[in-house]
């Protein structure tokens, strides 16, 4: 990951005073996930360039991971884009290595730290799924001239098209501290909020401090409150805070106070992220008439599925694409179920599900943990809770372990598949496993317009390959039902809007 900072303010080597890094030295700074280097490719009185280079150690990154998700393939921890593209790893290194520069502190050149200077910032690879136009809407209101060129997937194979990375060059006359704070906030927002560390409430203060808003009654003079007045502040805030609704609401309320000078208490009684399953967006509705309230949309979805399974009197369920086990946690507490199975393609998700399901464990005689084991004594006739089986597998590959269940659930799964893989999924689930009941839920793209900060045409999650309208989902479901001998009924999940329907649409297939 590379950032170069160039200035022609003379003497240009004063850039070293602002960065607190001497132009004649190459310095290295160890991080938990690699090593950051600061050096100067050129340093003259007329022109000076400083470079921040982050070398990521994949093994160190793996050791530092706890519960953070990664792409769904076996070598994802070692083979991915993070060593090359600016990401949350880079912004963490930026914040640590250039901390004094971001604060605008300079004992030797205090006046220079408060003076706008000509700057050119260049990052050769920046993830930005929305594309170059989004980069311009983020940086141009801050005084930058933006050059954002898509990086091709392979220059030698132009037919493959462009990747979702940009070569980004920013040119402008600003205080260096301002320029760095812009990168500190906007790079994670452009990436889509996929941070490599756990996001908690402290991220709100980090965001506000870098954006120049008051934190604990103190205003950072050099920040100048740029985020509070930014036309895309809702989009930036939502993505920086990884779409955790409670934090987003709190941050937006505090930004409004900073802008208006009046206290407008935010809604701090929300449910945190919780509005979507692990890895999906918990977006903030802009229309109070359709605002998600307690319980969260994810809880409503799981509750609706549980109710359908109960009404169909199923005795065994397989959750295909179980993720971190949100639905499994409900199912194992249902005493009418004799067998519960969870399947996911991602081993890390299954580990999260195992930890979630083992919250009620106690060691058995062999020193192992038994999920949801019954106490030693229980009332006569009470049924033991089912012990869930967790399987590593894919919904697009035939697997005999999927057979023999009364019901199969695909909760927010189909939209993560490439359209070309849908026929394989249909054959595996409806043709080969062929349970008596299949429950499918997926986002209703028509409802997306009610989510604040979600651009037109943008999906709720970066990994969604598509999102269906109600008519498109109904057409697909009706075709699958006819093809495999099922009938299907369609149910809404979540608050319904008279024009756009509910945020989640459900299809219940029965033999």
Q: Going along 236-324, which residue ranges are E strands? A: 284-285, 316-320
Q: Which range among 301-310, 359-368, 418-427 shows the weakest confidence by mean pLDDT? A: 359-368
Name the strand (E) or helix (H) holding 348: helix 347-357
Average pLDDT, the chain: 80
Q: Quickly list DSSP for 26-91.
A: -EEEEETTEEEEEEEEEE-SS-EEEEEEEEE-HHHHHHH-SS----SSTTTTTSSSTTTS--HHHH
Nearest alpha-carbon partner for 280 in 297, 300, 266, 268: 297
CA 426/CA 181 separation, integer angstroms: 48
pTM of the predicted model as reported, rounded to 2 decimal places = 0.50
What pLDDT score does 346 carry? Answer: 86
> What tens digit of pLDDT does each residue of 401-456 get?
999 999 999 999 999 999 999 999 999 999 999 999 999 999 999 999 888 767 77
Q: Which of 38-42, 65-69, 122-126, 328-332 has the lowest mean pLDDT?
A: 65-69
Rounded Cα distance, 262 and 364, in Å: 59
Render pLDDT for 69-116 as a digit per residue (tens, 0 to 9): 444 444 555 455 555 665 778 888 898 999 899 988 877 788 888 899
CA distance 501 to 450: 11
């Amino acid at each position: 990951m590379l950032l170069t900072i160039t200035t022609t303010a003379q003497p240009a080597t004063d850039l070293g005073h602002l960065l607190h890094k001497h132009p004649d030295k190459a310095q290295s700074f160890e991080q938990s996930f690699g090593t950051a280097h600061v050096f100067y490719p050129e340093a003259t009185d007329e022109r000076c360039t400083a470079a921040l280079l982050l070398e990521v150690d994949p093994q160190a990154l793996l050791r530092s991971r706890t519960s953070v998700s990664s792409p769904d393939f076996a070598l994802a921890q070692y083979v991915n884009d993070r060593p090359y593209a600016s990401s949350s790893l880079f912004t963490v290194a930026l914040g640590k290595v250039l901390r004094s520069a971001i604060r605008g502190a300079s004992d030797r050149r205090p006046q220079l730290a408060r003076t706008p200077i000509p700057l050119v910032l260049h990052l050769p690879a920046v993830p930005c799924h929305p594309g170059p136009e989004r980069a311009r809407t983020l940086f141009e209101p801050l005084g930058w001239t933006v050059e954002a060129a898509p990086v091709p997937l392979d220059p030698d194979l132009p037919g493959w098209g462009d990747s979702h990375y940009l070569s980004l060059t920013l040119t402008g006359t600003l205080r260096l501290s301002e320029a760095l704070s812009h990168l500190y906030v906007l790079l994670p927002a452009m990436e889509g909020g996929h941070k490599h560390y756990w996001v908690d409430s402290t991220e709100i203060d980090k965001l506000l401090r870098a954006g120049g808003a008051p934190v604990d009654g103190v205003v950072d003079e050099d920040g100048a409150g740029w985020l509070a007045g930014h036309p895309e502040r809702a989009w930036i805030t939502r993505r920086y805070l990884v779409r955790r609704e409670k934090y987003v609401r709190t941050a937006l309320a505090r930004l409004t106070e900073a802008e208006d000078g009046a206290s407008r208490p935010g809604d701090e009684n929300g449910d945190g992220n919780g509005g979507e399953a692990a890895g999906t967006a918990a977006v903030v509705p802009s229309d109070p008439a359709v605002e998600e309230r307690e319980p969260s949309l994810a809880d409503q979805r799981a509750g609706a599925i549980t109710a359908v399974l109960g009404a169909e009197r199923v005795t065994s369920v397989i959750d295909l694409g179980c993720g971190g086990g949100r639905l499994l946690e409900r199912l194992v507490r249902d005493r009418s179920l004799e067998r519960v199975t969870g399947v996911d393609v991602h081993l890390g998700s299954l580990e999260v599900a195992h930890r979630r399901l083992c919250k009620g464990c106690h060691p058995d005689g062999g020193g192992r943990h038994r999920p949801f084991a019954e106490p030693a004594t229980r009332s006569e006739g009470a049924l033991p809770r089912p012990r869930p089986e967790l399987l590593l597998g894919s919904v697009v590959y035939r697997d005999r372990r999927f057979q023999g269940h009364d019901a199969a659930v695909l909760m927010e799964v189909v939209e993560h598949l490439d359209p070309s893989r849908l026929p394989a999924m249909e054959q595996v689930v409806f043709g080969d496993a062929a349970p008596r009941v299949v429950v499918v839920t997926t986002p209703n793209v028509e409802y997306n317009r009610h989510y604040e900060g979600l651009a037109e045409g943008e999906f709720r999650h970066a990994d969604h390959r598509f999102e269906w309208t109600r008519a498109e989902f109904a057409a697909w479901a009706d075709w699958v039902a006819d093809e495999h001998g099922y009938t299907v009924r369609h149910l809404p999940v979540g608050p319904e809007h008279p024009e756009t329907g509910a945020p989640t649409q459900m299809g219940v297939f029965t033999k």
